[in-house]
Structure 1
Amino acid sequence: MGFWSTVRTTVRRPAEQLVFAALPAEGATPLVPRQGYVRVWLSQMFLQHRSTLLADWVPAAHTRVGITAGGRTTHDYGRVLRPEPGQLTDGVRLNFALTDLVPYEGGEIEVTAVLFGLQSGNHLDVAVDVLSLVSLLPVPALPVAAKVSESARDLVVRSDGRVHLDLHQTFSADGGGGAVVSPGHLAVVLAAQRDLATADLRVVGDRLHVVRDGAVVPLAGHDFMLLRLECRTVRPDLSIPDADRAWAAAVHAWSEGDDTAADGYQRAARAAVLLSPLLCDGDRRRVVAAIAAQWQQLRDQAQGLTADAVPEGLDALVRRWSPDTTSDPITPAEAFAM
C-alpha cells in the first residue's frame, strides 16, 4: 500500500468531512507577486491521547513545502518535526519554521503535512531523531529535501498505522479563484463538522482555540494541526552575504586611499544585490539606493568621514539612508547609474 493510501485509510471517516478552516490575519490582503516574501510555519500540533495502556505517545509531523516560479520548482523543503528527546514532559512547543523567508514570484505554494503519533523509546524514535537532524541542515539543494521527504514517508508507513491526520493545500496568486497567498492560519482538526463549527475556531497566542459557552478556550479533545502563512512586503534582514563582503572591501579600500579598488568593490556589491535570490524588487531597489547614497558621500568626503563611521553591513546601510523607493524592477543600467 502506498504512502498516501496508508494516510487516507488511517484518517478516513465514512460520510463525514473533517474540519478545515482558513483563519486570515486581521487586515490581511493577498501578497502581490514580486512585491513581498512568504514563509510557512507549523504553529502547533496536538494529539488528543498522549497515553494508552501500553505506551506513551508524542506528536510528530512530516511536512513538505514546494514553491514554484515560472512553472518550475525553485524551493523544496522536507521537514520531520518532533519534541526534543529531553522535552517529552509537559510544555508548550510552538512555531516550527517549515521554509526560509523567500521572495514570492507568483507561482504556487504547495503544502503537505502529516501528523502522527510517535511511541517514545522504540526504533522509530531513533529514526525520527536522525531525520529531524538531517532535515534541519542548511542545504538548499532540491534532491536533499526530496530524500528527506521520501525517508519520512517510509517512516510513517512503518509507524504501525499511527497516522492521525493529513493536510494538503496549494496557494496561488490572487485572481485564480482558489486559496490565495495571504497571511493567516490553516487549521485541520480530526473532528466531524457536525461536532465542531468552523466559525467557532480562533487563534490566540499562536494556539488554536474554540468558542464554547461564550468563552474562548484552547481547543482540546481532538487531534489537530495549525499552520501559518507569513507574508511580508519588506524583508526584515537585508544582509546579503556576497554583497556585504564586497561593500566591506569597498570601505576598506576607500580608507586606504585606493579609490579605483573601492569603486570596483562597490559596483560588485550592487551587482550582488541585483543577482540575489533573497530579495524582491522593492528591497533590491532600496539596497542599491543605499549603496549609491553612501558611496556618493564617501566620494565627497562629507563631514570628514572615517572608515569607522561607515556601516559595513548593508542592513545597517539601509537603516541609515532609509531610501524611499517604488516596488518596480530595477534594471542593471539604472542600478549602476545611481
Structure 2
Amino acid sequence: MTEFARRAGERVKAWFSANADHVTLKFYPEPDAEPLVPGDGYVRLWLAEGFLAKAVSWGNKHFPALHGGVTLTFANQLTPFTRFTKPAATLAAPGAYIDYPMTPLLPFAGGTVEVEAALYQASVAGPLAAAVAIGGSIASLIGPPLSVAAAIADKVGTGLDTVLATQDEKPVLGLHHTLIAAGGGGQVLRGGHLVVVNAPESEVPASLRVAEGRLRTDAGLLTGFDYLVVRVECRTQHDELRFPNLAELEQRAAYEWQMGNADRYREIRAQAVAEALGSPDLIARDRTVVARYVAGRFDALKEFGAVPGEEGGFDPIPAHLLPGQDEVANLTLDDLLRD
C-alpha cells in the first residue's frame, strides 16, 4: 500500500472511529442488486451527493475538499487507490450534489473492499487549497493504465498528506466501511449507496432513504445535517476500454506499415495483443475481448492504411465482440496473434 493511501485512510478511519457513536452510517443496496462475484466485474466509487450544514456561512473564503479512496485486499495483496480534489460543484446549497467519480473502475478479485470518504474545510488562501488545486489539475490523468494512475495519485497525494499533517487538518465529515465478497460474514459487496449523516440515528428522520440516487425523507431532501452519499458502482463489464498504451502502439504500427516495415508492424501488433491479454486493469474475460478487438484494429491498418482517430483511442467495442459470444469464448492465443 502506498504511504499516502495508508496515512490518509488511517486519518479518515480514526475520525470515523472517534465519532462512531455520533454519526449514522447506512448502506442502501440498489434494487435487485446481486453480489459482485470475484473475478467477474469491477467496483468504482462516486460521490453522489453531499451537504455541509454550516457551509452556508463559509462565504467565499472556504470551500469543501473531497477525499475518497478504496482499498481492495485479496490474498494479502493490497490494491489502494485514493484521490483528493475540490468537487466540481459546491456543497453549500441544500440538496446540492456532485456525481463525482472518486476512483476509476477497479477489477474485483475477491476479499475485502475498504471504502473511505471525507470532506475537509479548505481556506481559499491556505496551503490545502493550493495542494488540492494541483491535484484537480491532473484529474484527467487518473485512468487506465491503473499502474500509472496510481503512481501519479500517490505522488500528488503524498504532498497533500504532508499539508494535512502540518496544518493538523481534520475531516468535517467522514466515513469508513468494509464490504466483502459473498459468504464472508459481513456487508456484501454489491451496487448501492453508503450514507453517513453527522448525527446519532435517534436524531435522523426514520423515513431516510435513497430514491433516484438522492437522499430523501418523507418531507423531501434531507436538510439541517452534514451528510455524504457515496455510490458503490458494481458492474460486470468495463465501460471504457480505451487504453493510452494500446492506442500508442496502434499509432506506431500504422507508421511502420505505411513505411513498409512489415516485420516491425507484426512485432508491435504482437506486443499490443500480449499487453491486452495481461492487463491488470481488466478481468480475465475482458482481457480476451480487448485482445481480439486490438488485433482487429491492427489488421484494419493493413486494409485501409488508416491512422487512429484524432483522440488516439479506440471506438466503443462492437456488440458482436462482447463477452459471452462463442466466437470470443473459443479464441486461442494463436488466433489472436495470427495476422
Judge same fold: TM > 0.5, yes or no: yes
Number of the residue aligned with 1:191: 199
Change (3 A) 1:150 1:239: same
Number of the residue aligned with 1:235: 238
What pairs with 1:32-51 in structure 2 (closer than 5 Å)? Answer: 32-51=37-56
What pairs with 1:312-327 in structure 2 (closer than 5 Å)? Answer: 315-316=314-315, 318-319=317-318, 322-325=321-324
Superposed displacement of residue 226, structure 1: 0.8
Structure 1 residues 264-319: Cα deviation after superposition (integer angstroms, max 9, x where no partner): 222111012123222221211112223445666778xxxxx422398896732833
What pairs with 1:275-314 in structure 2 (closer than 5 Å)? Answer: 275-293=278-296, 305-308=303-306
Change (3 A) 1:280 1:331: farther
* TM-score, reference length from structure 1: 0.74
- CA distance in 2 between partners of 1:77 and 1:143 (Å): 8
Number of the residue aligned with 2:218: 211
Between stretches 43-52 and 225-234, larger displacement belongs to: 43-52
Counterpart code for 2:155: V
Identity of aligned pairs, percent? 24
Between stretches 163-172 and 323-332, larger displacement belongs to: 323-332
What pairs with 1:96-111 in structure 2 (closer than 5 Å)? Answer: 96-111=100-115
Superposed displacement of residue 103, structure 1: 1.7
- CA distance in 2 between partners of 1:83 and 1:291 (Å): 34
Number of the residue aligned with 2:263: 260
- Whether the aligned pair in 1 keeps the contact of 2:128 and 2:160 (CA below 8 Å) is no
Change (3 A) 1:262 1:30: same
**1:31 partnered with 2:31:** no
Superposed displacement of residue 17, structure 1: 5.6
**1:147 partnered with 2:158:** yes
* TM-score, reference length from structure 2: 0.74
Superposed displacement of residue 199, structure 1: 5.2
* CA radius of gyration, larger in: 1
Superposed displacement of residue 98, structure 1: 1.7
Superposed displacement of residue 243, structure 1: 2.1
Change (3 A) 1:330 1:249: same
Superposed displacement of residue 33, structure 1: 2.0
Counterpart code for 1:76: F
Number of the residue aligned with 2:130: 130
Number of the residue aligned with 1:302: none
**Number of corresponding residues:** 315
Structure 1 residues 181-201: Cα deviation after superposition (integer angstroms, max 9, x where no partner): 221111111222223255531
Tell me, which stretches of 5 or more residues in structure 2 are unaligned?
A: 1-9, 142-148
- CA distance in 2 between partners of 1:22 and 1:172 (Å): 13
Superposed displacement of residue 99, structure 1: 1.4
Between stretches 189-198 and 172-181, larger displacement belongs to: 189-198
Change (3 A) 1:293 1:197: same
- CA distance in 2 between partners of 1:184 and 1:117 (Å): 27
- CA distance in 1 between partners of 2:107 and 2:14 (Å): 35
Change (3 A) 1:83 1:264: closer
Change (3 A) 1:39 1:324: closer
- Which SS does the other structure have where 1:308 is aligned? coil
- CA distance in 2 between partners of 1:225 and 1:8 (Å): 13
